[in-house]
Amino acid sequence: MSVIYNRVALIGLGLIASSMFWAMKRGGLAGEVTGYARSAETRDTARRIGLCDRVCDSAEEAVKDADLVVLCVPVGVMGAVAEQIASSLKSGATVTDVGSVKRDVINNVAPHLPEGVHFIPGHPLAGTEHSGPESGFAQLFDGRWCLLVPVDGSDPAATAKLRSFWEALGSNVSEMEADHHDLVVAVTSHAPHLIAYTMVGVADDLGRVTDSEVIKYSAGGFRDFTRIAASDPTMWRDVFLSNKDATLEILGRFTEELFALQRAIRTGDGDHLHSYFTRTRAIRRGIIEAGQDTDAPDFGRAGPRQP
């Protein structure tokens, strides 16, 4: 592979940004990578572990002369960050983001960007329950999808270049309209996370089950819920507030489905339950066939199994 952008600026140095850096280094995709994080502690950690070629003490310094600027901050502050860096962006630069909500980000970021700067929102569908600069790894995006959401007036050549960049990071890339994107991820990510947070909260509130029993006897289902519910709370607070309409629509549909299953259990309707579970099992198989998960024992988890 060869250099795609001479200088890339990463604003926010958590899981996604750090994984982007290591993937860029793996492929030799950038001449120089600068980085900035609001927290001095995070910046110190980044310098200690060699994350970014140069860690800057201001966002304005980080984006100076950058060909690609990637906003890797919670969606709730992207507008403020865009306003902060706007006057420091060079003409012809591309600004993108990694937020899991797109309409709200577009509404809050686009008005601040000067003429001559290309804005191409993005969303890599990759992550773990870990966060922070030390959580990144070069393989995070391999075989995963990155959705690009060009806005009105997005330059086709700049979009094609960003697509090639994400492909070089290991991603499959597709383009999608903003509102459709927000509905899709409400189904595939946002609502499942909210349900996971709720299920863990229910277990915490249930006085008849002690904390030690919940932890000690965690079966696969509850264990997977807790993995999802361990995700960064600031990021997910902002996601739900920013994608309110789509999330509420999907939660409404979920509630209707849940009531139907409650009724089937109450009335002993085994045929309904079996039919429903058969249909949903096929979706799980489709995810594996699409290469987005594995059917390996214990879902491919490393480490010894508990007896």
What is the model's pLDDT at position 307?
32
Give the span between the Cα atoms of 247 and 240, in whole angstroms. Answer: 7
Long-range contacts of 217-224 (CB under 8 A, 24+ apart): 224/196
pLDDT tens per residue across span 77-103: 999 999 999 999 999 999 999 999 999
Indicate the residue type of 205: D
User: Mean pLDDT: which of 58-62, 223-227, 270-274, 282-286 is highest?
Assistant: 58-62
Sheet bearing 5-11, strands edge to edge: 54-55, 30-36, 5-11, 68-71, 94-97, 118-119
pLDDT at 268 over 60: yes
Give the span between the Cα atoms of 239 and 204, in whole angstroms. Answer: 23
* Average of per-residue pLDDT across 243-267: 92
The mean pLDDT value of the chain amounts to: 89
What is the model's pLDDT at position 131?
83
pLDDT at 230 over 90: no
What is the model's pLDDT at position 303?
43
Which residues, 6 or more positions from 175, have their beta carbon under 8 angstroms from its beta carbon?
147, 148, 149, 150, 159
Give the span between the Cα atoms of 258 and 274, in whole angstroms. Answer: 15
Which residues, 6 or more positions from 25, have their beta carbon under 8 angstroms from its beta carbon?
33, 138
Exposure letters 86-104 (e unless 16+ CB within 10 A, then b): bebbeeebbbbbbbbbbbb
Backbone Cα Rg of the chain? 21
Q: Cβ(10)–Cβ(72) under 8 Å?
A: yes
Tokens encoding 211: 């904390």
Report field, pTM of the whole predicted structure over 0.85: no
H or E segment at 146?
strand 145-148
Q: Cβ(96)–Cβ(110) under 8 Å?
A: no
What is the model's pLDDT at position 188?
84
Q: Is 187 exposed, middle or buried (0-12, 13-18, 19+ CB in 10 A)?
A: middle
What is the model's pLDDT at position 220?
67
Q: Map out the domains of the chain with their CATH numbers.
A: 5-176 (3.40.50.720), 180-295 (1.10.3660.10)
Between 49 and 230, the higher pLDDT residue: 49
Between 24 and 206, the higher pLDDT residue: 24
Q: Cβ(178)–Cβ(119) under 8 Å?
A: no
Confidence of residue 121 (pLDDT cuts 50, 70, 90): very high
pLDDT at 300 over 60: no
H or E segment at 227?
helix 220-229
pLDDT tens per residue across span 99-111: 999 999 999 999 9
